[in-house]
Structure 1
Amino acid sequence: MNFEPFLNHLHTLKQCSPQTIKAYRNDLKLFGAFLQDRSVSRISRVDHALVSEYIEYMRQQPNPRFGRTGLADASIARRLAAVSSYLEFVRVSDPKLRNPLKDLSRRWQKNNEPKPVEDYTLDLLLASIPNVRDRVLFSLLLATGLRVSEVHQLNRDSICIDQETDPKGKVHVIGSGQVVGKGGKRRKFYVDETTVFAFAEYVEARRDDNPALFLSERKQRMSVRAIQYTLDAWCRKLGFSHINVHRLRHTFATRLIVLIFGACRSLESGGTNSAPRW
């Protein structure tokens, strides 16, 4: 089954990132292999029974990364979403085609939304990691809300360190930088004082001339996969439950919302309608 027209559609019209297209290709490749094993060559033969069989098929897939059999519900949900998007694409030229996943998708949404990691767990995890590179890596992910693909592109000089004086005369150290995010758009990020100091000490201690901020054991820029694996490896080594990189980004967003809400409540209690300056 040829999925390339759909992937080209994602690239040219939807302007999806290369990482997103790669994920869709891998997910659809698994679905294509499943159909081929069952001699299904026409997409019109995909019905509720076949989808249910595909779900069971994914539950039986080896999962060596986590040392178990079967994909996690979140992974199954993502693969089903990829197939559903493909079916909707085909339905544009063939309106009579049914998408059986429309009826089944709701039951697979419960694990899609990442949950923030508890502060106690994060503090304990970071404090337990002796490797300076990895500790700074995870601190940056948590402090900035950057995507793993954005952290992957950081260089040693990507973060500028400045000092600011607040109205009470206290000096604060902050970091800032820019990355190329989704859709090739540049966006700015900020780094808190504690993480800035850790970052500065890490860079100062480096004895190589590689411009990349985070290097692998082979002294090459850490890949996206290597960053993801490193976090998972530390969780397993230290006895923590699995924490994926995206949960750190979600934790950052949750903390930011709490911070903004708290500032607004403080303004209200102080009897002012002025908005805070961020």
Structure 2
Amino acid sequence: MDLSAAAEAFATHLATVRRLSPATVRAYRSDLRDLAASVGDVSIAQVDLESLRDWLWKATQRGDARSTLARRAAAARSFFAWAKDEEFISVDPSLRLVTPKRGRTLPTVASREGMRVLLDAQRALAAAGDPTDLRDHAILELLYASGMRVSELCGLDIDDLDQDRATARVLGKGSKERVVPYGRPARDAISAWTTRGRPVLAARAASATPAVFLGARGGRIGPRLVYTLVARTLGPVVGADNVGPHALRHSAATHLLDGGADLRAVQEILGHASLGTTQIYTHVSAERLTATYRLAHPRA
């Protein structure tokens, strides 16, 4: 079997058997297509360790980040392990492929005061009753209050919200379901959106949708619109042009820990499979604490 055909078969396996998210499958497919472009039109059995090392070296020369190199190495190992199990190859060439160490990059986090100013400004805009402003205010409040991912927010249906208990049922990575809480400001913003704003946009759709958040034509909102909203509103607060919805997730987690929340509770709220993933926010909190100490203590 040639390499490209095997890569497509592996992507199908990931989607249908392992049931990974579409985004994860796209990432694997992209990495393996890059490998195929690097080694040329060869069969999967012709790919050896030197081919894989040369592929990663080319990526290094392009200036790819260490995190990208590490992800590609992991994709290659998963792919060739599967290929050996399927008996497409007799020897796995990736067994001795060294994974580049990831550099630790702390996430972008807004300050509490910055978030207060941002959300107060959005609430003032929404007070005029424009459906889009009502929606945008509810989105920002909910992302920050719950720490949910943008894909989880876009996938929310009306029945997923329990406004009395101020909780949302979300479908996370690996189709894992969890319930996340949110506070009174988010509940008020969602209530204003669903009663005053959503019906206006829903009336523009050709057919009804159960989605909580709608686009201009009344259909389910897409991640790109949420990215644009967050970049426009949060970007000036954190001083970054390419900030996205994940920065609100980072901010929510960091502020929870700053306020004394238990690390495992934050793990549950965020839907992390591993506590190690959540621990990055302890580093953020520690660095913020150190920065505050240096500014405030006379002997710092």
CA deviations on 1:34-53 (whole Å, 9 max, x unpaired) are 444xx666422524333111
Which structure 2 residue ranges, 5 or more long, are not aligned? 126-132, 203-207, 264-300
Give the direction of change, closer, same or farther, for the CA distance of 1:89–1:234 in structure 2 (3 Å limit): farther
Which residue of structure 2 lines up, in the alignment, with residue 52 of structure 1?
57
Which residue of structure 1 lines up, in the alignment, with residue 116 of structure 2?
123
Residue 213 in 1 paired to residue 215 in 2?
A: no
Does the 8 Å contact 1:116/1:247 carry over to 2? yes
Give the direction of change, closer, same or farther, for the CA distance of 1:155–1:147 in structure 2 (3 Å limit): same
Which residue of structure 1 lines up, in the alignment, with residue 137 of structure 2?
135
Give the direction of change, closer, same or farther, for the CA distance of 1:117–1:232 in structure 2 (3 Å limit): same
Give the direction of change, closer, same or farther, for the CA distance of 1:224–1:238 in structure 2 (3 Å limit): same
Deviation at 1:157, TM superposition (A): 4.9
Does the 8 Å contact 1:77/1:109 carry over to 2? no
Residue 188 in 1 paired to residue 183 in 2?
A: no
Greater strand share, structure number: 1
| Distance in 2 separating the partners of 1:238 and 1:249 | 15
Deviation at 1:140, TM superposition (A): 0.8
Give the direction of change, closer, same or farther, for the CA distance of 1:74–1:222 in structure 2 (3 Å limit): farther
Please say which of residues 219-228 and 135-144 is displaced more in the overlay: 219-228
Give the direction of change, closer, same or farther, for the CA distance of 1:230–1:46 in structure 2 (3 Å limit): farther
Give the direction of change, closer, same or farther, for the CA distance of 1:232–1:27 in structure 2 (3 Å limit): farther
Greater helix share, structure number: 2
| Distance in 1 separating the partners of 2:182 and 2:94 | 45
Residue 99 in 1 paired to residue 94 in 2?
A: yes
CA deviations on 1:79-100 (whole Å, 9 max, x unpaired) are 4543443344446555744438
SS in 1 for 2:260: helix
Deviation at 1:189, TM superposition (A): 2.0
Aligned with residue 166 of structure 2, among 175, 180, 185: 175
Which residue of structure 2 lines up, in the alignment, with residue 85 of structure 1?
78
Which residue of structure 2 lines up, in the alignment, with residue 252 of structure 1?
252
Deviation at 1:28, TM superposition (A): 2.7
The amino acid of 1:205's aligned partner reads R
Given the two structures, how large is their TM-score scaled by the length of structure 2? 0.63
Deviation at 1:104, TM superposition (A): 4.2
The amino acid of 1:49's aligned partner reads D
Which residue of structure 1 lines up, in the alignment, with residue 296 of structure 2?
none
SS in 1 for 2:98: helix
SS in 1 for 2:163: strand
Report sequence identity in percent: 26
Which structure 1 residue ranges, 5 or more long, are not aligned? 60-70, 163-173, 263-278
Does the 8 Å contact 1:10/1:21 carry over to 2? yes
Please say which of residues 42-51 and 191-200 is displaced more in the overlay: 42-51
Which residue of structure 2 lines up, in the alignment, with residue 223 of structure 1?
222
Count of aligned residue pairs for this structure pair: 236
| Distance in 1 separating the partners of 2:239 and 2:136 | 16
| Distance in 1 separating the partners of 2:79 and 2:193 | 45
Given the two structures, how large is their TM-score scaled by the length of structure 1? 0.67
SS in 1 for 2:28: helix
